[in-house]
Structure 1
Amino acid sequence: MNPTKLVAMLSLFIAWLALPLTVSQPARAEGEDAKKILKAMSDYVSGQKHVVLKYDVDIEVITPELEKLQFTSSGEAALHRPDKLRVTRTGGYTDVELVYDGKTVTVLGKHTNTFAQLELPGSLDQMIDRLRAEHNIEMPGADLLLSNMYDELVAGVIQAKHIGHGVVDGVECEHLAFRNQETDWQLWVELGATPIPRKYVITSKTLAAAPQYTLRIKSWDTSTEPDAKSFTFAPPEGAKSIEITALADVGELAAPAEAQKE
């Protein structure tokens, strides 16, 4: 064989062997960059002693006929670490409030003027975990309030990407994307000295039509400390105490059957 052709073939073969390395290295760097931004956001948010924020939520549900429906609600949240929280959520089919004073969590359904209380002494993290584990009350957006937010978010992540920059409500953000076995999720983190989460999207891959949960943070205030009364529950006039299992529309995720009725 012509020596020139042999050298050319060897060069191509070596280049082919090196190809996986040249492709995978940027992918690894991209993933490390995404986790670095996520860690910076987590450290900043969990380092805030108190936060008052406003948000919008879009929840998609799938009916038995495989029709995708989206329900939108808005709310406010105030927290004081380590063990105080008040959250409201109001939409066309829901008007609910959750109050936690470090010992008791109260959920008020304003449409029915009924409330349920649970004794859950401990931290904010412990309250959220116990509501999920013991009472099947899911609050996906609550992940962004946990003191160990980074560990919770990266648990189960099999792929991370730094997509680039995006703009949410006029605010320039870092756009991150992560993959788990059962979900894909995206996060938009504000650029600059206050790396707060501006948008959070969770896509369920195990359900038909892949419904999404979307949280948008509309405002974020750490300069105003919530009044202590914000975390004290006072039953409205005529409100009836009921069991937590009897309180409708407690969690953020609606069921397909509920969507059909609505």
Structure 2
Amino acid sequence: MMRSLPLSAVLAVTMAMAAIPAGAQQTPPAVDPAAVKALDDMSAYLRTVKTFEVEALTATDDVLDDGQTDQSTGRTIIVAQMPNRLFAETTSDRMSRTYVYDGKTFTLSARRAGYYATVPAPPTVRELADVLSDKYDLEIPLADLFLWGAPGWSHGELTSAIDLGPAVIDGTTCQHYAFRQAGLDWQVWIQKGDFPLPRKLVITTTDDEARPRHAAVYRWNLAPSVNDAAFAFTPPKGANRIILATVAQ
């Protein structure tokens, strides 16, 4: 058996990066207000981006029963028209999945296995993320990019926030920040200039002695050429439709 970086860890970072309150006062001494503001600016900017394509190269640690780590790598492509169109495809050495959302229905396809499932969906991508998590125990790939502004987190969760200085990710000049909260250390590299996009994210689970990590490097296209056909699902030849099981089931 293996234990992976828990979804709760990713969502905790998502909420932390999404809900930094503007003008927060009484910041703990270990938390640099400038680092917190950088997160706030990034999340505010991402909420203004309506159409985009992003590629993510990922590496995720699984932990074996004897404590040894097993890393898997993958690639995810997302095309989105906010608030209600999404196409995502993720491939790794272990699986391949396609996610299609047209504002009315959501389809999950496992092309290699020859199966797909389609269910009714809510009217926005952000609501879809909640439904998939709560009802089906599924996560939209790169869900953090769609959940900025989620309620329920305050900057008081952070025990450390520091600016590590400039860095270059894929030829793009960024500022490198590191944060710490209960059970998690995480880092984000934010593009400098007028387009404060996240270019890299690393999450380390610190309450597991193996300290498994998840890392993603993002490559952005803010002006993709897309139309409604990009968000329409056509079953592959020979694919079988199945029922998407709910958490209760």
CA distance in 2, matches of 1:42, 1:225: 24
Task: Tell me by how many angstroms 1:50 deviates.
Answer: 0.4
Matched residue, 2:5: none
CA contact (8 A) 2:165 2:177 kept: yes
* 1:88/1:127 CA distance change after superposition, 3 Å: same
CA distance in 1, matches of 2:202, 2:58: 10
* 1:154/1:60 CA distance change after superposition, 3 Å: farther
Matched residue, 2:47: 46
CA distance in 2, matches of 1:151, 1:30: 19
Matched residue, 1:212: 213
After TM superposition, list the pairs within 5 Å mapping 1:31-42 onto structure 2. Answer: 31-42=32-43
After TM superposition, list the pairs within 5 Å mapping 1:222-241 onto structure 2. Answer: 222-241=222-241
1:195-249 alpha-carbon deviations (Å, 9 max, x no partner): 11100111112323111111111x2111224211111111111111113349xxx
TM-score (ref. length: structure 2): 0.80
After TM superposition, list the pairs within 5 Å mapping 1:103-252 onto structure 2. Answer: 103-139=104-140, 141-148=142-149, 156-217=157-218, 219-245=219-245
1:16-60 alpha-carbon deviations (Å, 9 max, x no partner): xxxxxxxxx997485211111111111211101100111111111
CA contact (8 A) 1:143 1:149 kept: no
* Identical amino acids, percent of aligned pairs: 29
More deviation in 134-143 or 81-90? 134-143
After TM superposition, list the pairs within 5 Å mapping 1:31-110 onto structure 2. Answer: 31-110=32-111
CA contact (8 A) 2:31 2:159 kept: no
CA contact (8 A) 1:172 1:191 kept: yes
CA contact (8 A) 1:159 1:180 kept: yes
CA contact (8 A) 1:30 1:162 kept: no
CA distance in 1, matches of 2:188, 2:149: 17
CA contact (8 A) 2:78 2:88 kept: yes
CA contact (8 A) 1:143 1:152 kept: no
Q: Extract unaligned runs of 5+ from structure 1.
A: 1-24, 247-262
- Structural RMSD (CA): 2.5
Q: Could you say which structure has the higher helix fraction?
A: 1
Q: Size of the alignment, in residue pairs?
A: 221
The one-letter code sitting in structure 2 at the alignment partner of 1:54 is: E
Task: Tell me by how many angstroms 1:145 deviates.
Answer: 2.5
Q: Could you say which structure has the higher strand fraction?
A: 2
Matched residue, 1:256: none
Q: Which has the larger radius of gyration?
A: 1
CA distance in 2, matches of 1:55, 1:87: 11
